[in-house]
């Protein structure tokens, strides 16, 4: 049997089990063999039943002598199974296993059975109990050699697949593997292999180890293999980047000198150091890929400006991308203030606002063909397949996949939804559908193109981050949710307007994950041409239910009375614009898709990198000649993570704060102390300082209850009267948000009551007090970010973390912030506290998820793997030497799996 063999070809695995395995992503023999145990149980000999409680979970075996079901509090149920030791003695105590409200357990356990249980014994009254233990029923003694009398593997839980079944399947596969090591090639350099260990041995031993030592040795081997594969991929990315055609993007520095002279402060030593590093990298002819790390408030913006000035002095454009609208606007304001006196031309480009009118088509090709609307019709491109004639009689065009294979950060999907026959979309209904799609554009997703046909809809969509969870990881809107809301929203409205009832939409939908720029472009064109290609619209006819971002921008302009008279005028404007084209373009990540607006891009600065993914970065650098890239992050991360998540970047670190900074004092207070806290806030406001109140609405995306926000605000206005407050939250339109920030900046308002939209980068030096409500609900990194909004001027600053009846862990967590202001220390502590298994946004890194290694516990192995991979690529960048050629597989395979989106 070969390891690539699909499990479906093995006739001894039942179909329903195949399905359960597939749910885990296990389709081949190899997948199964690398489905590693979560832990092992020592079942060589079971200990005697305990007579005391313990904090360490233990594994016991016994016979069920009694079961009972008890009710409490109305509908709640407790199922109890009493176990007796196999060889009881006079002192043996029975063990009571209890499950609360777990209906199915009751069906699985019966008197007379033998059970193996794993859990913590607790003293409850006089009885020794185990609550919700993991358990396994011993059915017959035949299989005892697999499941007992050994170190037994326990796998990650699976619905529809018991431990016993999974274990038996894996055991049989291992025994049938022929030759014993078939296809299990060891892909590790010799210095990482200890003794005569190889992959085949390790795989066997990780499932069914002979001893704990054998298990540990196997695990180390497998972790090293996994880490080495990851670091090989990173090293190859790095090598690829360095051999791309780049250019030197560095001017003489005169402009930079002028800028530095005009600054009201001296650079810190650390700023000077990193500017020098960046300058060297800009001057080099191979592309720069650099991470600028620095705590909040360490002055990264100035460094970014310095880099951009060097690039524009050399005649290039620079792009400055911020993660949010507010930040883009803020950078725009700061840069104009500092750079316009030096004669630098700056432009703002965000989804919501573009400071220069003039269309920004999505793709160069569309621009070359003149106005986008005209180009859709008969422009010589062979008509792509259309929905109508592709649909085969049996409707096979639709696939039943409800969830696409890849829900990935920043993935783009081409989606098609059909109406359920015999319904079709009247012109009015089509407008409603288009409006529904536009409604969440730039809110829950970015919409690139849509066409609404009489019986189906096509659109191209990129789900956006929904929120940060408590740990600060980014969570994206699931495609299924987005599509569902679009469907139900429009169906409801259409049924109302047309006075109909019943289903409007087909349940099925067809979605395609967009894999590359070319793919994107094709889908884009396809969607825009669909009405004409399919004959729904005549060649020279206008079809109003086709939408692009251009159309939206054009509509807005029409609305504002800046109508374009003709395409030729628009062209003329555009050409004129080019002559005095902006040298620095500031924007949100929408910039990524407007490549065309760059004519000579030399440097891209990405602020607050954790909001961007590798794929997005790749999108910018895919062009040749490749621009230099500087990514900045204020979320310091532990070193082990840096070498994985940012492993392909060079790192510059600002490790010093500007000297004029007042101290930040952080204090955790219980809600009951609110009275004292308020009077403290007042003394600060009376001293003319300004205040941020961060209120606890964490999830802003979903149905933010505007009323609740308003109530919160009223409350605070009352509390702080007569000082002037304003309210800030994510639902406020960008322009208004900007005005609110402006009033706060200028001191017109004293206090800003805000959600976490304030999070990154906002800079108002006179705001020195911050109160965070329900602080225990936030992650440490996020709290540190928030706190970074104060302490930006010379005055002493105060951060008050308000909590209510917090558990032990929460107070330990918050105490970290009382103890230190250093972001790196916060990051380390955060990681320490959060425990293993948390991968801190590895999804964003575009790296495969780890199957066995643990970034934290196995940090030392990661260092070894990295050193080995780096050494190999330094000596042999193309993996040409005979002993290295085998490692090419790691890159090819991995890329096939994880990098398709940036190909
Ligand atoms: P961050 O690193 O968090 O992005 P910013 O670049 O926004 O920090 O800088 C924070 C504040 O510090 C800004 O008001 C900036 O003008 C100021 N600043 C930057 N460098 C210095 C310096 N060397 N000395 C004094 N103030 C500085
Ligand atoms: Mg910043």
- Alpha carbons 903 and 895: distance in angstroms, whole number: 9
Residue whose CA lies nearest to ligand 1 atom number 15: 299
How many angstroms does the Cα of residue 476 sit away from the middle of ligand 1? 31
Task: Count CB-CB contacts under 10 A for residue 629.
Answer: 21
**Could you say which ligand is closest to the alpha carbon of residue 304?**
1
Nearest to 409 by CA among 324, 466, 451: 466
How many angstroms does the Cα of residue 782 sit away from the middle of ligand 1? 19
Return the beta strands (E) in 399-543 as ranges. 413-419, 445-452, 456-463, 465-468, 474-476, 505-513
How many angstroms does the Cα of residue 475 sit away from the middle of ligand 2? 22
Atom of ligand 1 nearest to the CA of 296: 3
Residue whose CA lies nearest to ligand 1 atom number 18: 299
How many angstroms does the Cα of residue 491 sit away from the middle of ligand 2? 43
**Could you say which ligand is closest to the alpha carbon of residue 294?**
1
Residue segments in the chain with a per-residue pLDDT below the cut of 50: 356-406, 469, 472, 558-578, 595-596, 698-702, 836-844, 895-903
**Could you say which ligand is closest to the alpha carbon of residue 266?**
1
pLDDT score for 225: 94
How many angstroms does the Cα of residue 433 sit away from the middle of ligand 1? 47
Residue whose CA lies nearest to ligand 1 atom number 19: 299
Helix extents (H) in 402-516: 427-439, 479-498
pLDDT score for 537: 76
Residue whose CA lies nearest to ligand 1 atom number 5: 299
Rounded to the nearest 10°, the torsion over CA 117, 18, 174, 114 is 20
Give the pocket of ligand 1 (CB within 6 Å).
Answer: 265-268, 271, 294, 296-302, 634, 658, 660, 761, 763, 765, 792
* Strand pairing class (767-772; 690-694): parallel
How many angstroms does the Cα of residue 407 sit away from the middle of ligand 2? 30
* Strand pairing class (690-694; 628-633): unpaired
How many angstroms does the Cα of residue 766 sit away from the middle of ligand 2? 17
pLDDT score for 518: 67
- Alpha carbons 903 and 901: distance in angstroms, whole number: 6
pLDDT score for 902: 24
- pLDDT tens-digit readout, 683-715: 999 999 999 998 866 444 445 556 667 778 888
**Helices vs. strands in the chain: H and E counts, helices first:** 31, 29
**263-270 contact pairs (CB < 8 A, 24+):** 263/302, 263/338, 265/658, 265/660, 267/299, 267/302, 268/298, 268/299, 268/654, 268/656, 268/657, 268/658, 268/659, 269/656, 270/294, 270/298, 270/653, 270/654, 270/655, 270/656
* Strand pairing class (584-587; 601-606): unpaired
Residue whose CA lies nearest to ligand 1 atom number 26: 658
Please, what's the b/e burial string for 140-156 (b: 16 or more CB within 10 A of its CB; e: otherwise)? eeeeeebbbebbbbbbe
Which residues does 902 contact at the CB level (< 8 Å), separation at least 6? 516, 614, 615, 618, 619, 622, 846
How many angstroms does the Cα of residue 603 sit away from the middle of ligand 2? 18
Residue whose CA lies nearest to ligand 1 atom number 9: 299
**Could you say which ligand is closest to the alpha carbon of residue 636?**
1
Contact 798, 672 (CB under 8 A): no
Ion ligand 2, residue ranges at CB < 5 A: 761
Residue whose CA lies nearest to ligand 1 atom number 10: 297
Residue whose CA lies nearest to ligand 1 atom number 17: 299
Which residues does 87 contact at the CB level (< 8 Å), separation at least 6? none
Atom of ligand 1 nearest to the CA of 660: 25
SS3 392: coil
How many angstroms does the Cα of residue 299 sit away from the middle of ligand 1? 3
Residue of 272, 293, 329, 658 to mutate, ligand 1, most atoms within 8 A of C-beta = 658
State whether the Cα torsion 704-547-424-418 is positive or negative.
negative
pLDDT score for 395: 32
**Could you say which ligand is closest to the alpha carbon of residue 265?**
1
Residue whose CA lies nearest to ligand 1 atom number 4: 300
Residue of 291, 298, 301 to mutate, ligand 1, most atoms within 8 A of C-beta = 301
How many angstroms does the Cα of residue 704 sit away from the middle of ligand 2? 27
Residue whose CA lies nearest to ligand 1 atom number 12: 299
- pLDDT tens-digit readout, 512-554: 777 766 677 778 878 888 887 777 877 666 788 888 876 676 5
Atom of ligand 1 nearest to the CA of 294: 2
How many angstroms does the Cα of residue 638 sit away from the middle of ligand 1? 23
Query: Exposed, middle or buried: residue 785 (CB in 10 Å: 0-12, 13-18, 19+)?
Result: buried
pLDDT score for 578: 45
* DSSP label at residue 784: H
pLDDT score for 834: 65
Residue whose CA lies nearest to ligand 1 atom number 25: 658
How many angstroms does the Cα of residue 760 sit away from the middle of ligand 2? 7
SS3 content of the chain, % helix, strand, coil (to 5): 40, 20, 40
How many angstroms does the Cα of residue 680 sit away from the middle of ligand 1? 27
- Alpha carbons 527 and 520: distance in angstroms, whole number: 11
Atom of ligand 1 nearest to the CA of 268: 23
Atom of ligand 1 nearest to the CA of 300: 2
CA distances from 37 to 26, 139, 215, 367, 649 (A): 14, 22, 11, 55, 34
Atom of ligand 1 nearest to the CA of 267: 23
pTM tops 0.75: no
**Could you say which ligand is closest to the alpha carbon of residue 303?**
1
3-state SS, 678-733, equals HHHHHHHHHCCCEEEEECCCCCCCCCCCHHHHHHHHHHHHHHHCCCCEEEECCCCC
pLDDT score for 666: 94
Q: Tell me the sheet residues that pair with 800.
A: 667, 771
How many angstroms does the Cα of residue 322 sit away from the middle of ligand 2? 9
pLDDT score for 577: 41
How many angstroms does the Cα of residue 297 sit away from the middle of ligand 1? 5
- Alpha carbons 789 and 639: distance in angstroms, whole number: 25
**Residue 359: enclosing H or E segment and its boundaries?**
none
Residue of 262, 264, 302, 321 to mutate, ligand 1, most atoms within 8 A of C-beta = 302
Residue of 265, 269, 274, 299 to mutate, ligand 1, most atoms within 8 A of C-beta = 299
**Could you say which ligand is closest to the alpha carbon of residue 324?**
2
Atom of ligand 1 nearest to the CA of 792: 11
SS3 40: strand
Please, what's the b/e burial string for 283-321 (b: 16 or more CB within 10 A of its CB; e: otherwise)? ebebbbbbbbbbbbbbbbbbbbbbbbbbbbbbebbbbbb
């Amino acid at each position: 049997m070969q390891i690539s063999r699909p499990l479906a070809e093995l006739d001894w695995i039942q179909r329903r089990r195949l399905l359960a395995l597939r749910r885990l992503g296990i389709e081949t023999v190899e997948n199964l063999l690398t489905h590693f145990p979560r832990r092992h149980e020592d079942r060589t000999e079971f200990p005697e039943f305990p007579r005391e409680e313990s904090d360490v979970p233990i594994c016991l075996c016994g016979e069920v002598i009694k079961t009972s079901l008890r009710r409490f509090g109305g509908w709640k149920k407790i199922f109890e199974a009493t176990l007796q030791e196999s060889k009881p003695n006079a002192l043996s105590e029975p063990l009571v296993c209890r499950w609360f409200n777990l209906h199915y357990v009751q069906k699985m356990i019966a008197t007379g059975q033998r059970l193996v249980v794993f859990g913590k014994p607790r003293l409850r009254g006089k009885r020794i109990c185990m609550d919700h233990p993991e358990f396994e029923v011993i059915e017959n003694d035949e299989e005892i050699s697999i499941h007992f009398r050994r170190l037994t593997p326990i796998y990650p839980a699976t619905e529809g697949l018991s431990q016993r079944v999974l274990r038996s399947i894996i055991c049989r596969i291992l025994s049938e593997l022929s030759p014993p090591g078939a296809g299990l090639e060891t892909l590790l350099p010799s210095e990482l292999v200890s003794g005569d260990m190889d992959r085949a041995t390790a795989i066997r031993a990780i499932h069914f180890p002979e001893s704990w030592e054998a298990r540990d040795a196997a695990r180390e081997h497998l972790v090293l293999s996994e880490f080495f594969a990851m670091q090989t991929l990173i090293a190859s990315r790095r090598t690829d980047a360095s051999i791309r055609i780049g250019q030197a993007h560095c001017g003489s520095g005169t402009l930079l000198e002028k800028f530095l002279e005009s600054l009201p402060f001296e650079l810190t030593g650390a700023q000077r150091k990193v500017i020098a590093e960046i300058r060297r990298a800009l001057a080099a002819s191979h592309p720069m890929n650099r991470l600028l790390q620095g705590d909040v408030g360490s002055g990264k913006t100035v460094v970014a400006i310095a880099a951009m000035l060097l690039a524009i002095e050399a005649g290039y454009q620079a792009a400055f991308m911020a993660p949010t609208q507010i930040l883009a606007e803020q950078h725009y304001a700061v840069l104009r203030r500092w750079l316009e006196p030096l004669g630098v031309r700056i432009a703002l480009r965000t989804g919501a606002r573009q400071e220069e009118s003039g269309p920004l088509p999505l793709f160069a090709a569309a621009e070359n063909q003149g106005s986008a609307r005209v180009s859709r019709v008969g422009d010589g491109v062979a008509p792509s397949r259309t929905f109508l004639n592709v649909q085969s009689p049996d409707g096979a065009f639709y696939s039943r996949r409800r969830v696409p294979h890849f829900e990935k950060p920043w993935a783009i999907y081409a989606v098609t939804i059909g109406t359920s026959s015999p319904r079709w979309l009247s012109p009015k209904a089509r407008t409603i559908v288009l409006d529904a799609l536009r409604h969440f554009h730039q809110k829950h997703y970015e919409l690139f193109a849509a066409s609404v046909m009489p019986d189906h809809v096509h659109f191209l969509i990129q789900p956006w981050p929904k929120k940060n969870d408590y740990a600060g990881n980014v969570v994206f809107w699931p495609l299924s949710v987005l599509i569902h809301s679009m469907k139900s929203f429009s169906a409801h409205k259409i049924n109302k307007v047309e006075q109909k009832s019943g289903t409007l939409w087909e349940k099925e939908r067809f979605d395609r994950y967009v894999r590359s720029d070319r793919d994107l472009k094709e889908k884009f064109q396809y969607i825009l041409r669909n009405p004409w290609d399919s004959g729904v619209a005549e060649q020279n006819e206008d079809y109003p239910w086709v939408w692009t971002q251009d159309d939206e921008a054009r509509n807005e302009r029409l609305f504002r009375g800046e109508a374009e008279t003709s395409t030729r005028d628009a062209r003329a404007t555009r050409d004129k614009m080019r002559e005095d084209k902006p040298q620095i373009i500031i924007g949100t990540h929408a910039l990524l898709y407007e490549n065309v607006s760059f004519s000579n891009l030399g440097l891209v600065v990405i602020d607050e990198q954790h909001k961007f993914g590798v794929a997005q970065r790749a999108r910018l650098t895919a062009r040749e000649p490749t621009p230099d890239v500087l990514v900045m992050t204020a979320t310091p991360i532990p070193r082990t993570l840096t070498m994985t998540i940012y492993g392909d970047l060079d790192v510059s670190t600002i490790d010093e704060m500007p000297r004029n900074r007042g101290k930040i004092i952080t204090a955790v207070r219980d809600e009951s102390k609110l009275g004292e806290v308020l009077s403290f806030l007042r003394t600060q406001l009376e001293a003319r300082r300004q205040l941020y109140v961060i209120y606890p609405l964490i999830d802003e995306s979903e149905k933010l209850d505007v009323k609740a926000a308003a109530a919160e605000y009223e409350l605070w206005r009352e509390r702080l009267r007569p000082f002037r407050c304003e309210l800030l939250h994510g639902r406020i339109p960008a322009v208004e948000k900007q005005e609110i920030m402006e009033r706060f900046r200028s001191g017109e308002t004293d206090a800003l009551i805000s959600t976490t939209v304030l999070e990154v980068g906002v800079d108002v030096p006179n705001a020195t007090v911050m109160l965070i409500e329900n602080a225990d609900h936030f992650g440490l990194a996020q709290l540190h970010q928030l706190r970074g909004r104060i302490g930006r001027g010379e005055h002493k600053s105060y951060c008050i973390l308000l909590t209510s009846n917090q558990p032990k862990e929460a107070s330990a967590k918050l105490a970290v912030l009382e103890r230190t202001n250093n972001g790196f220390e916060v990051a380390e502590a955060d990681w320490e506290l959060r425990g293993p298994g948390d991968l801190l946004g590895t999804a964003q890194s575009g790296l495969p998820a780890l199957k066995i290694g643990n970034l934290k516990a196995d940090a030392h192995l990661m260092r070894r793997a990295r050193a080995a991979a780096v050494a190999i690529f330094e000596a042999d960048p193309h993996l040409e030497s005979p002993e290295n050629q085998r490692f090419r597989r790691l890159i090819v395979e991995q890329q096939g799996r994880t990098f398709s989106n940036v190909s």
